[in-house]
A and B are shown apart, each in its own frame.
Chain A
Amino acid sequence: MSGSMEFLLWTKGPMFDIALAIFAIGLFARLAEIFLLGRKPNYAEPRAGEWLPGLRTVFTRTIADPGTFQRASFNVVVGWVWHIGFLIALLLFVPHAELIKGLFGIAWPALPNPVVDLVTAITLIALVATLVHRLTHPVKQRISTIEDYLVWTVVFLVVLTGYLAYHRLVNPYPVALGMHILMAEILLIILPFTKLTHIFTTFIARWYNGAAFGRKGVQS
């Protein structure tokens, strides 16, 4: 017998374990792949240390410089909106906060549901905007690959199914919730093997960038 509840329990049980295992193995493999490559020793006399400028860039690069903001405001703003929206929905929605607490024992305050609901709606609109931009901007058209569209689809479906489940727009509810969990699991599974890795490697990349520039006396 395989009904909606069995589907939900499968996504919450074995499938979640599989997804998490692939995610953890893949991600750590990826990180090992990066770090073990190492860097060649640098004999040039530094102007400054690497750690502090590196760490500073990890944070500062989140905000575009004024010139870039002006030249690519749509790209920057929409990117910001959906990233922040996604993070809010991911970390500050009560069921998600409970999931993290259940898994890792770390808890933090969550936002009231209507707030997350609004944020999610905005995120969905922003995600559609990013797709339109990707399909129409000459640079993005030229550099986009199948992977970009695949990742967009998965991310969009994660948010969309979450939205549908919250509003109970799909019946029965275990199907709605199961679809959402399954999409999130697909996201976890593809994360280490696609550009989604940037969720983690961005901070490494930024650090290397900041360190290299900082060493030469420039805060990047």
Chain B
Amino acid sequence: MSELTLERGLAAFRAEIDAPTAAFFSSCVHCGICAQSCPFYLETGDPKYTPILKLEPLRLVWENEFTLWGKLKGLFGLQQKVTDEMLAEWEELLYDSCSMCGRCSLVCPVGNDLAYMIRKSREGMVQSGHAPEGLIAASVRAIQTGSPMGLQWKTLAVQIKHVEDSTGMEVPVDKAGVDYLVLLSSMEIINFPEYLEAIAKIFDHAGVTWTLSTQCFEATNAGIQIGNKDIAAQLVERVVAAAEKLKVANVISPECGHAYTAIRWEGPNLIGRPYPFRVFHIIEVLDELRAAGRIQTEGMESDRLSMHDPCNLARKSGVIQQQRNLMNLVADNFVELKEHGKFQWCCGAGGGVSSNERAEPLKLAAFKRKKAQIEEVAPERMVTMCATCRTQLEEGLEEFNMEIPVVGLTEMIADHLVEKEAREHE
């Protein structure tokens, strides 16, 4: 049987090098400012976590094989080669200490999109057999069971039943021709079952037709996190197949950051064709409904609320204003974290860090940046819209004995919906 080798890894690195990558590496002046944007460096103080350094394997392949100078060096045997040992050393740098939050990409003075190249580097890491166990296991489970956490439809079915019982509404399953196909994330199903109930309520309230699909309910994409196109493409194809089968015009990605970027931005390129449907994050859909006047709310949250922008949603997908519009709909006392929106700080768990048990201490270290931000404005509760961020915030705040509950924005909106009967009376 074939196996993952250095040669395959190098081939994968080569295949990833494109004009932007070459422009980026040509431009780096080693100013080190990227480190000042990286929570993993800032909170550990270890210079090996400098973002640009994490890209050294990819850079070496570029220099050695894609530049005249590198080839000349090769003629004199002066090239530094990428070795298995090097990649083994870099595994920690490319996975454990990078949440692909993309903050460095926004800060680099010469304009290097470092997160873009981290994503590319991971392709080579997987092919050379240097991906972390936790992510490999998640990818295997995702392919084999349909969920990175090994969650089955029957678990979801129980939850659907529970929602239907508590709300008296029907949760539509495998309904063809509806407005929206709703995807979920396993983490949500396990940790935050209130999400499903919330969208059931909101869509009922707004008169939106939607459905879940038994064929594919999972939005997350372990292939994107580990950094392998083949796995990622298979997972995207499942979503596309489900959406095409049910002939929906829109697919909704849940409160999960990477699921959204995976299906919204990478998906069509993974399968090599545009989708026959559009993709939205649930927050985008809710804000559109709000703008169209289809969401009527009552009452306001009066405690001091602040909000964490998920990197994948805000910085990496441009969903920034929407969540603020929705907050203002239901919160009286909303205070922004100092650096927010596209310049927000990562919670520390993204980019596969949370699926990589080994990275636990680093994940917690990186969280300290977020913690400091939260302490600065001292909110009574935090609001966010990504299950991974939410879990990380909850665990992190607990670790530091901070009594700040974290809530999902969708649920909070659902809590303030005007009751159907009350509306009908007006």
**Which positions in A face B, CB cutoff 8 Å?**
26, 29-30, 33-45, 47, 57-58, 61-62, 64-65, 67-68, 71-72, 75-76, 79, 134, 137-145, 148, 192-193, 195, 197-198, 201-210, 212-213, 216-220
Contacts and interface: CB of A to CB of B under 8 A. Distances in A.
B113 A143 contact: no
A72 B33 contact: yes
B47 interface: yes
Interface in B238-267: 264-267
Given A35-B19, A142-B50, A75 B28 contact: no
A75 B31 contact: yes
B27 A38 contact: no
Given A33-B68, A208-B20, A143 B32 contact: yes
A209 B35 contact: no
A187 B67 CA distance: 19
Contact of B111 (A43, A45, A67, A205): A205
B47 A37 contact: no
B268 A64 contact: no
Given A39-B18, A208-B113, A209-B113, A195 B47 contact: no
Contacts of A57: 111
A202 to B, nearest CB: 4
Nearest to B48: A142
16 contacts: A29-B68, A44-B274, A45-B279, A75-B31, A139-B35, A143-B32, A143-B47, A195-B28, A195-B29, A197-B26, A201-B23, A206-B111, A212-B113, A212-B116, A216-B318, A217-B318
B23 A204 contact: yes
A47 B425 CA distance: 40
B31 A43 contact: no
B17 A37 contact: yes
A39 B24 CA distance: 13
A76 to B, nearest CB: 7
Interface residues of B, number: 63
B106 A43 contact: no
Interface of B: 17-24, 26-33, 35-37, 41-42, 45, 47-48, 50, 52-53, 66-69, 105-113, 116, 264-269, 272-275, 278-279, 314-320, 339, 342-343
A182 B23 CA distance: 28
Most B C-beta atoms less than 10 A away, residue of A30, A41, A205, A206:
A205
Contacts of A62: 109
Contact of B269 (A43, A79, A144, A195): A43
A4 B53 CA distance: 46
B33 A68 contact: yes
Given A44-B268, A195-B28, 6 more contacts: A44-B269, A45-B279, A139-B41, A142-B53, A193-B69, A217-B318
A40 B216 CA distance: 28
A218 B342 contact: yes
Contacts of B269: 40-44
A76 B33 contact: yes
B265 A44 contact: yes
A33 B22 contact: yes
A68 B111 contact: no
A2 B244 CA distance: 81
Contacts of B268: 42-45
A219 B314 CA distance: 11
Most A C-beta atoms less than 10 A away, residue of B23, B66, B275:
B23
B316 A218 contact: yes
A33 B110 contact: no
B52 to A, nearest CB: 6
Contact of A202 (B22, B35, B111): B111
Given A210-B111, A216-B316, A138 B28 contact: no
Nearest to A199: B27
Given A44-B267, A217-B317, A198 B19 contact: no
